[in-house]
Chain A
């Protein structure tokens, strides 16, 4: 049996058989689901409630200013800034005398607690709507006409489509953002987790004095690459198990949806969003939502995204894992050495993360394009851009350049680290400087 294969096997099995691996693999998706649902729950539940006293110098807001569950507008008598708190109001809204020539009249809202961003937006929307209604009424539209307009009002749904070689394809910026940020984030986390795992593995071999025993049987390069590939396989296994778990969980969740709703969803799918019978039969609200969600998801080019993810996940891991292995090989017993030596590796990773979080918003800035080609940052940044579509956002040339430079990049870091590693694992006691590591890397044979 090939020796590298034996090493890969050992590195893989000792980790996968570990109880901690099984636990994190199962608990991680549960934690993520819990985190997301918790965040959603609190963002809905945690809304501020405002009971607002309105002091209107014009008198036309009464009846036009619409209250809702968390924003209640009242028009009491004899309330001013000095006593609104005693009278049981949380805020007071002061509307000055209306002046038609003034384009942006000032309204003042006073409160004891600072008003949250969401509530502030809500209040200003309502005031503007009321103002608009008032102006329409001034222009001669009576109240009943206005009410009937409001009742049949439509809200536009923006459907973005992009050119795709003659045909057009529906796109969704929100979804692209989510996919780009999610996969970039995942690559960022896994680089740290598995990179550090490689480093600790190498340090273990060195501090336990196994290194020399091993290199009398195998080449140092085999030992290093076996470890990197073995741990990479652990990462891939974990990732695939998460995918299976998430698909399993969401399938299980579908079982809770009533049967007739699912039937409606299927009809919607067949008819491309239109209910048969010329809109006579309305699909249920739930079915509409599920259909919309599924439809949004189907706008993304999943095979390309998943393919790219696996490529950049592995490429990025291989690129950085080799460097982590080199650092592990020069560290002695003192883990603090590892901290300072790791810095030049962690810095570009963190920096790439920052570029990535900008690139998911603006995937076509020169910075994003270059960072998606340079192998130091390409795994994260390219994933952020790929989510916006190939070849619309990322051209084939850019993708090819990025992939080739990443392959070249990890071959280079592996070669470089191999040379440092070879000398480093057999050195004890002495603290190694960057200068020496550089010398080891570039000397002959």
Chain B
């Protein structure tokens, strides 16, 4: 598969901090990519460089096989920023039309696409309403439509589910899958790890302006596994003699164990079978992204970074 976006040694320094400090990664066409990081890690700055709002201090961005050219490539990108809003006094239909035309669509083209999406997301009756009359969830939906309306190759969504109820969140999630299947690439930025685990193929974790993790969700989990397994026994004897493993937790008839260096799952099973115990279940426990995230970020100065003095 070809790569739609390649970042090479991107740097963006502000007077107070190194917002993005030498970050490189690439994103495959048609994938759903998760950009993770704590508050103030540099995600927004990174996204603003990818969307052409900021110029990097140094480094290169390759978009769709060529050097990124904000003037022309901007129409192939749909960006829904975290800080988002709409003109309150404008009618919904006019607003969608205006934003679509700014993305380079002709009026008639924009019109037919808006009608398609409004119908799809059951928003047809909103046309003449004003944005100020919409609930937060409704305006998020409208915001999503205006982001993807011009069928961009690259869609960047920063916290897309905030303010949405579960029903609408699922609706948008399905649309995201659909867009990816039709060939769009999606960059998904969030703090909500369970959503990332569910949706993303590939993730990058940034902290303090640097990339600290890069890989598919499965690879990352493998990388951070702690050889933990869950064993469910029909009956737990008073005395177990652990050979090659240690028991870290016990709940009813389920044990959490950690296999020691040099041993494998088979060794554990063998020793349990030798002890004549009935095994009902045996499976590996992989760490959740949430645990990995907290483990990596905790203890760094991530939270205090925003308050560094000016003449640092």
Does A pair with B?
yes
Residues of A at the B interface (CB closer than 8 Å) are: 1, 3, 6-7, 10, 14, 204, 208-210, 212-218, 426, 428, 439, 445
Find chain B residues with CB under 8 A from A213 CB.
Answer: 79-81, 84-86, 99, 143, 146
Q: Is the CB of B102 within 8 A of A214?
A: yes
Q: Is the CB of B102 within 8 A of A212?
A: no
Q: Is the CB of B83 within 8 A of A217?
A: no
Once bound together, how far apart are the Cα atoms of A216 and B146, in whole Å? 12
Find chain B residues with CB under 8 A from A210 CB.
Answer: 84-87
Interface size classification for chain B: 20 to 34
Q: Is the CB of A14 within 8 A of B89?
A: yes
Closest residue on chain A to residue B57 by CB atoms: A445
7 example contacts (A-B, Cβ-Cβ < 8 A) are as follows A208-B85, A208-B87, A212-B79, A214-B102, A216-B74, A216-B81, A217-B99
Once bound together, how far apart are the Cα atoms of A434 and B115, in whole Å? 47
List 10 tightest A-B contacts by C-beta distance, closest first.
A209-B85, A216-B79, A208-B85, A212-B81, A217-B102, A209-B83, A210-B85, A216-B51, A215-B53, A217-B103
- Whether B101 sits at the interface, judged by CB under 8 Å, is yes
- Whether B55 sits at the interface, judged by CB under 8 Å, is yes
Tell me the chain B residues, 96-142 only, with Cβ under 8 Å from chain A: 98-99, 101-103, 106-107
Shortest beta-carbon distance, A124 to chain B, in Å?
62
Find chain A residues with CB under 8 A from B107 CB.
Answer: 1
Shortest beta-carbon distance, B299 to chain A, in Å?
26
Once bound together, how far apart are the Cα atoms of A402 and B287, in whole Å? 72
Partner of A212 from the list B53, B89, B98 (CB cut-off 8 Å) is B53
- Whether B217 sits at the interface, judged by CB under 8 Å, is no
Closest residue on chain B to residue A223 by CB atoms: B102
Find chain B residues with CB under 8 A from A215 CB.
Answer: 53
Shortest beta-carbon distance, B53 to chain A, in Å?
5
Find chain A residues with CB under 8 A from B52 CB.
Answer: 216
Find chain B residues with CB under 8 A from A10 CB.
Answer: 98
Closest residue on chain A to residue B83 by CB atoms: A209
Q: Is the CB of A1 within 8 A of B81?
A: no
Closest residue on chain A to residue B70 by CB atoms: A219
- Whether B281 sits at the interface, judged by CB under 8 Å, is no
Q: A213-B143, A217-B74 are in contact. List 6 more A-B contacts (CB 8 A).
A: A209-B81, A212-B79, A212-B83, A213-B81, A216-B53, A445-B55
Once bound together, how far apart are the Cα atoms of A89 and B47, in whole Å? 88
Find chain A residues with CB under 8 A from B55 CB.
Answer: 445
Q: Is the CB of B85 within 8 A of A6?
A: no
Find chain A residues with CB under 8 A from B75 CB.
Answer: 217
Find chain A residues with CB under 8 A from B257 CB.
Answer: none
Once bound together, how far apart are the Cα atoms of A208 and B86, in whole Å? 7
- Whether B15 sits at the interface, judged by CB under 8 Å, is yes
Shortest beta-carbon distance, A395 to chain B, in Å?
45
Once bound together, how far apart are the Cα atoms of A355 and B99, in whole Å? 45
Once bound together, how far apart are the Cα atoms of A209 and B55, in whole Å? 21
Instruction: Check A6/B88 contact, CB under 8 A, given A212-B53, A216-B79.
Output: no
Instruction: Check A6/B53 contact, CB under 8 A, given A14-B89, A212-B81, A439-B15.
Output: no
Q: Is the CB of B84 within 8 A of A6?
A: no
Shortest beta-carbon distance, A72 to chain B, in Å?
64
Q: Is the CB of A216 within 8 A of B77?
A: yes
Once bound together, how far apart are the Cα atoms of A1 and B107, in whole Å? 9
Find chain B residues with CB under 8 A from A1 CB.
Answer: 101, 106-107
Once bound together, how far apart are the Cα atoms of A6 and B224, in whole Å? 51
Find chain B residues with CB under 8 A from A218 CB.
Answer: 102
Find chain A residues with CB under 8 A from B84 CB.
Answer: 209-210, 212-213
Shortest beta-carbon distance, B138 to chain A, in Å?
16
Find chain B residues with CB under 8 A from A3 CB.
Answer: 102
Closest residue on chain A to residue B81 by CB atoms: A212
Closest residue on chain A to residue B158 by CB atoms: A212
Find chain A residues with CB under 8 A from B103 CB.
Answer: 217
Once bound together, how far apart are the Cα atoms of A178 and B99, in whole Å? 47
Q: Is the CB of B90 within 8 A of A6?
A: no
In this complex, which of A1, A3, A212 has the most chain B Cβ atoms within 10 angstroms of its Cβ? A212
Once bound together, how far apart are the Cα atoms of A3 and B86, in whole Å? 18
Tell me the chain B residues, 184-202 only, with Cβ under 8 Å from chain A: none
Shortest beta-carbon distance, A71 to chain B, in Å?
60
Find chain A residues with CB under 8 A from B88 CB.
Answer: 204, 208
Shortest beta-carbon distance, B180 to chain A, in Å?
20
Find chain A residues with CB under 8 A from B86 CB.
Answer: 208, 210, 213
Shortest beta-carbon distance, A70 to chain B, in Å?
56
Shortest beta-carbon distance, A1 to chain B, in Å?
7
Once bound together, how far apart are the Cα atoms of A210 and B127, in whole Å? 19
Once bound together, how far apart are the Cα atoms of A320 and B162, in whole Å? 40
Once bound together, how far apart are the Cα atoms of A217 and B53, in whole Å? 9
Closest residue on chain B to residue A222 by CB atoms: B102
Find chain A residues with CB under 8 A from B99 CB.
Answer: 213, 217
Closest residue on chain A to residue B77 by CB atoms: A216
Find chain A residues with CB under 8 A from B90 CB.
Answer: 14
Closest residue on chain A to residue B90 by CB atoms: A14
Once bound together, how far apart are the Cα atoms of A7 and B102, in whole Å? 8
Once bound together, how far apart are the Cα atoms of A57 and B144, in whole Å? 98
Partner of B101 from the list A6, A208, A212, A439 (CB cut-off 8 Å) is A6
Find chain B residues with CB under 8 A from A439 CB.
Answer: 15
Shortest beta-carbon distance, A4 to chain B, in Å?
10
Closest residue on chain B to residue A428 by CB atoms: B83
Shortest beta-carbon distance, B5 to chain A, in Å?
15
Find chain A residues with CB under 8 A from B102 CB.
Answer: 3, 6-7, 214, 217-218
In this complex, which of B77, B87, B102 has the most chain A Cβ atoms within 10 angstroms of its Cβ? B102
Shortest beta-carbon distance, A427 to chain B, in Å?
10
In this complex, which of A7, A10, A204 has the most chain B Cβ atoms within 10 angstroms of its Cβ? A10
Once bound together, how far apart are the Cα atoms of A215 and B55, in whole Å? 13
Once bound together, how far apart are the Cα atoms of A217 and B104, in whole Å? 9
Find chain A residues with CB under 8 A from B101 CB.
Answer: 1, 6
Shortest beta-carbon distance, A328 to chain B, in Å?
15
Instruction: Check A426/B53 contact, CB under 8 A, given A14-B90, A439-B15.
Output: yes
Shortest beta-carbon distance, B50 to chain A, in Å?
10
Once bound together, how far apart are the Cα atoms of A7 and B55, in whole Å? 24
Find chain A residues with CB under 8 A from B106 CB.
Answer: 1
Q: Is the CB of B98 within 8 A of A6?
A: yes
Tell me the chain B residues, 1-25 only, with Cβ under 8 Å from chain A: 15
Once bound together, how far apart are the Cα atoms of A204 and B74, in whole Å? 24
Shortest beta-carbon distance, A114 to chain B, in Å?
54
Once bound together, how far apart are the Cα atoms of A426 and B106, in whole Å? 28
Once bound together, how far apart are the Cα atoms of A356 and B15, in whole Å? 43
Find chain B residues with CB under 8 A from A212 CB.
Answer: 53, 79, 81, 83-84
Once bound together, how far apart are the Cα atoms of A14 and B131, in whole Å? 14
Find chain A residues with CB under 8 A from B85 CB.
Answer: 208-210, 213
